[in-house]
């Protein structure tokens, strides 16, 4: 187990919300939509100690761009040192559309989330999902994971409903039993056009 991960959990349990980093099998599944060719822009939310970062970098194999947004600077510093090809921003993931605009980036092709959705209240979940759909290309993919043991808890059910409200396609993976704790992945595609933008398009 990563000592720094456990230490950060003890320091701020509601933001880290896990006692250990995700395992390689979950990382492989979460990052599956990263294209094997071209120069995609991949955004990662809540990278922590880099379980998904390593998998994204391996799939990119030197291509494209990889922006990682981590709110905890004690995670972000070592992450930036370990992955020099990754742009690590110390920021709240709610600022994602701003960060893309100010960095001169286009919309993301893939957004991969390690955020602890079950630890967030309804308005934080909403703000974060609005940031995701506002930053994702229309043909892009968004993936995030949840722990199987909390699948039926109210925040997890709320996340499932919100994903369906914000994406036309939401596919749930099998459970990754090898992960500790076991987890599953949501694969989301075709972000729904926000109502205001829809009005402008229809006008
Ligand atoms: C459950 S850990 C997952 C870490 C890593 N992705 C993994 O799977 O091992 C959640 C991570 O999200 C970060 N985080 C929580 N809220 C955040 C926010 N609003 N913006 C950016 N990062 C956040 C935490 O600091 C932590 O690194």
Instruction: Determine the distance separating the centroid of ligand 1 and the alpha carbon of 117, expressed in angstroms.
Output: 9
Is the shortest distance between the CB of 15 and ligand 1 below 6 Å? yes
Contact present, 39 and 63 (Cβ < 8 Å): yes
Quote the pLDDT of residue 106.
87
> Which class in CATH covers the domain with range 3-202?
alpha beta
Per-residue pLDDT at 30 exceeds 80: yes
- Atom 3, ligand 1: which residue's CA is nearest? 114
Candidate of 93, 115, 145 to mutate for ligand 1, largest count of ligand atoms within 8 Å of Cβ:
115
| Whole-number pLDDT of residue 1 | 46
Q: 44 and 23 in contact (C-beta within 8 Å)?
A: no
The predicted structure's pLDDT at residue 195:
54
For residues 192 and 31, which has the higher predicted lDDT (pLDDT)? 31
Q: In the prediction, which pLDDT does 202 show?
A: 52
Domains of the chain by residue range: 3-202
Rounded to whole angstroms, the maximal C-alpha distance in the chain is 56
SS3 content of the chain, % helix, strand, coil (to 5): 45, 25, 30
Using the mean position of ligand 1's atoms as its centre, give its distance from the Cα of residue 193 in Å: 27
Reference 29, options 199, 160, 124, 171; nearest CA is 171
| pLDDT at 125 > cutoff 80 | yes
CA of 106 to the centre of ligand 1 (A): 23
Look at 49-53, 68-72, 189-193 and tell me which has the smallest mean pLDDT: 189-193
Q: What is the mean pLDDT of the chain?
A: 92
CA distances from 91 to 67, 72, 102, 107, 144 (A): 12, 8, 13, 18, 19
Mutation choice for ligand 1 from 71, 86, 144, CB with most ligand atoms inside 8 A: 71
Task: Give the global pTM.
Answer: 0.93
Average pLDDT over residues 27-44: 97
Q: Which of 185, 135, 124 is closest to 160 using CA atoms?
A: 185
Confidence class of residue 194 from pLDDT cuts 50, 70 and 90?
Answer: low
Q: CA–CA separation, 75 vs 178, rounded Å? A: 24
Quote the CA–CA distance of 187 and 203 in Å, as a whole number. Answer: 32
């Amino acid at each position: 187990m990563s000592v720094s991960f456990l230490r950060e959990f003890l320091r701020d349990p509601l933001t880290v919300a896990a006692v250990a980093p995700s395992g390689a099998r979950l990382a492989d599944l979460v990052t599956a939509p990263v294209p094997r060719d071209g120069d995609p822009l991949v955004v990662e939310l809540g990278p922590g100690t880099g379980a998904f970062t390593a998998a994204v970098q391996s799939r990119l194999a030197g291509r494209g761009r990889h922006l990682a947004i981590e709110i905890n600077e004690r995670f972000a510093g070592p992450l930036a040192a370990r992955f020099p090809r990754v742009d690590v921003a110390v920021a709240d993931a709610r600022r994602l559309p701003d960060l893309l605009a100010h960095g001169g980036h286009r919309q993301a092709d893939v957004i991969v989330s390690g955020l602890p959705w079950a630890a967030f209240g309804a308005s934080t979940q909403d703000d974060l999902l609005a940031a995701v759909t506002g930053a994702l290309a229309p043909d892009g993919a968004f993936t995030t994971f949840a722990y199987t043991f909390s699948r039926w808890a109210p925040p997890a059910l709320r996340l499932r409903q919100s994903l369906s409200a914000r994406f036309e396609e939401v596919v749930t993976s099998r459970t990754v039993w090898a992960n500790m704790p076991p987890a599953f992945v949501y694969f989301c595609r075709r972000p729904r056009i926000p109502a205001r933008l829809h009005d402008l398009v229809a006008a």
